Amino acid sequence: MPAADHVDLVVEQWARERPDVDASPIRIIGRISRLTRSIERQLDVVYHRHGLEAWEYDVLASLRRGGAPFELTAGELLAALMITSGTVTNRIDRLEARGYVQRVKDATDRRVVRVRLTPAGRRVVDRALPDHLANEETILSSLSGAERRQLERLLRKVASNLPSG
């Protein structure tokens, strides 16, 4: 078992100061919160190496992984990224200014605008993807295959109890 960490200290402090409350959820939620921040910092190293911010990678990867013609409506991006409509518009604008995406009118409904990955956008996300996945592999390297599957199941179970948006 790993040595005691900051989260253990926090729980011990609450147990001492407020023995009338059960602070044990902090053992999991606190660690998830701390892990989230740490993982984001480690992922940012790779994104920055490729000249990207995390949100830029997320948008470009969402477009790329859907396959040709590598495009989604703003609403589909909104759902994929779980962000507000104002945020998605701002992100599209910024990626369009960098030449990574372009807006195109839908062929069947001129009111619908699709966001398409440009060749430059595809190149940058295709270069970043192997490094990104290797980085994620490094983050998870202390877990066996069975532990990863177990963690995945448990995280999915916790997530199913939360609102999805």
31-84, pLDDT tens digit by residue? 999 999 999 999 999 999 999 999 999 999 999 999 999 999 888 888 888 777
Same domain for 59 and 43: no
In a domain, 165, yes or no: no
Same domain for 144 and 108: yes
Same domain for 1 and 62: no
CATH number of the domain residue 61 falls in: 1.10.10.10
* Cβ–Cβ < 8 Å for 76, 40: no
User: Which residues is 113 bridged to in the sheet?
Assistant: 105
In a domain, 151, yes or no: yes
* Cβ–Cβ < 8 Å for 104, 110: no
In a domain, 40, yes or no: yes
Give the total number of structural domains in the chain. Answer: 2
Same domain for 138 and 109: yes
87-120, pLDDT tens digit by residue? 888 999 999 999 999 999 888 888 888 999 999 9
Which segments of the chain does DSSP mark as H helices, in order? 6-17, 26-49, 54-65, 74-81, 85-97, 119-140, 145-159
Q: Which two tokens stand for residue 119?
A: 């060749």
C-alpha 71/C-alpha 69 separation (Å) is 6
Same domain for 79 and 2: no
In a domain, 164, yes or no: no
What pLDDT score does 1 carry? 64
| Domain span at 23 | 1-49
Same domain for 141 and 98: yes
Same domain for 122 and 87: yes
In a domain, 23, yes or no: yes
Q: Which two tokens stand for residue 47?
A: 């994104």
Same domain for 75 and 135: yes
The DSSP secondary structure of 105-144, one letter per residue, reads: E-SS-TT-EEEEE-HHHHHHHHHHHHHHHHHHHHHHTTS-
